[in-house]
Amino acid sequence: MSWISITIETDAAHAEVLSDALLEMGALSVDIQDAAAGTELEQPLFGEPGELVEKKIWQSAKITAILATDADVEEFIRAASQAAELTSLPMYRVDELPEQDWVRMSQDQFTPIKISSRLWIVPSWHQAPDSEAINLTLDPGLAFGTGSHPTTQLCLAWLDENLRGGEDVLDYGCGSGILAIAALKLGARQAIGVDIDPQAIVASQDNASRNQIEQKKAQFYTAHTELQLVKTTTGWADVVVANILANPLKILAPLLMSMTRRDGTIVLSGILKDQSEDVEKIYRQWFKMRISGEREGWVLLTGTRK
């Protein structure tokens, strides 16, 4: 089946109302982006955790809606404009979308990834290239962690090389659950995953089940639940792995330290090379820190708790 897309440029005051109105009228999907994306006028909308960001929407926004080919485009625009209380119809563009297998196109972006001679990441719709290897069967879903990003690969390679079996592992910012699941398949005793996104928890639980991980060995929590969890599991983990970003890693340092046992190991990723010194300096208060890997400008920091 083929579709059409309509693209509307508007201002911050009307973008969300126009978007909601298009959805209510039956648009299949609606997306809002910065109209200046890719130019020097592009505006960051969201900051990293712990940073205050005043902007709620871009000053100039581009709305793209997907409609069925038989939709009355002019009526869609007119009704959405009335809902947004616009005095005149906005300028818009209509494009045809050719018939395609969107599911197949999406799946084709993800192919099996070889982490080491014994560890592979295999999307759930692919056959494992090496049936004798440790294969992580993964459906990325709506969460970060397909295994394709250098920061994830750095963490997986470290787990593959350093886990000896029987460890308790905390995966902070678990995304798809890939690191927690990998740790268990590599011999960890149990793993806890934490994420701020409830969809990540669902994806992690689904992926754990897909990999036939016993429920009692893999537990996943939202960050809200985790605050209570900290009170009962302080110093719980032999290995704490956090693949996030530099600024949240700095903010979370006391918490991640408190979850790490004496002589336990912390594994930090999501850090650009020029950010590593600042992150390392903070964690040196509690850990003997080192750079344990580097890939495509990203650095992996590890440390042993003093």
pLDDT for residue 53 is more than 60: no
Contact 250, 280 (CB under 8 A): no
Confidence (pLDDT) at 37: 66
| Mean of all residue pLDDT scores within the chain | 84
pLDDT for residue 297 is more than 50: yes
Residue-wise pLDDT for 267-287, tens only, equals 999 999 999 999 999 999 999
Confidence (pLDDT) at 54: 45
Q: List all residues 6 or more positions away from 4 whose beta carbon is below 8 Å from its beta carbon.
A: 66, 67, 68, 69, 71, 73, 94, 95, 96, 97
- Rounded (5°) CA angle 32-34-40: 170
The C-alpha atoms of residue 111 and residue 259 are separated, in whole angstroms, by 35
Confidence (pLDDT) at 109: 63
Q: Which CATH class is domain 105-305?
A: alpha beta
pTM of the model: 0.68
- Going by pLDDT thresholds of 50, 70 and 90, the confidence category of residue 163 is very high
Structural domain boundaries in the chain: 3-99, 105-305
- HEC profile for the chain? CCEEEEEEEEEHHHHHHHHHHHHHCCCCEEEEEECCCCCCCCCCCCCCCCCCCCCCCCCEEEEEEEEECCCCHHHHHHHHHHHCCCCCCCCEEEEEECCCCHHHHHHCCCCCEECCCCEEEEECCCCCCCCCCEEEEECCCCCCCCCCCHHHHHHHHHHHHHCCCCCEEEEECCCCCHHHHHHHHCCCCEEEEEECCHHHHHHHHHHHHHCCCCCCCEEEEEHHHHHHHHHHHCCCEEEEEEECCHHHHHHCHHHHHHCEEEEEEEEEEEEEHHHHHHHHHHHCCCEEEEEEEEECCEEEEEEEEC
The C-alpha atoms of residue 86 and residue 83 are separated, in whole angstroms, by 8
- Rounded (5°) CA angle 297-301-306: 165
Residue-wise pLDDT for 86-96, tens only, equals 888 888 899 88
Confidence (pLDDT) at 81: 86
Q: Which CATH class is domain 3-99?
A: alpha beta
Residue-wise pLDDT for 201-223, tens only, equals 999 999 999 999 998 899 998 87
Mean pLDDT across the stretch 20-40? Answer: 78
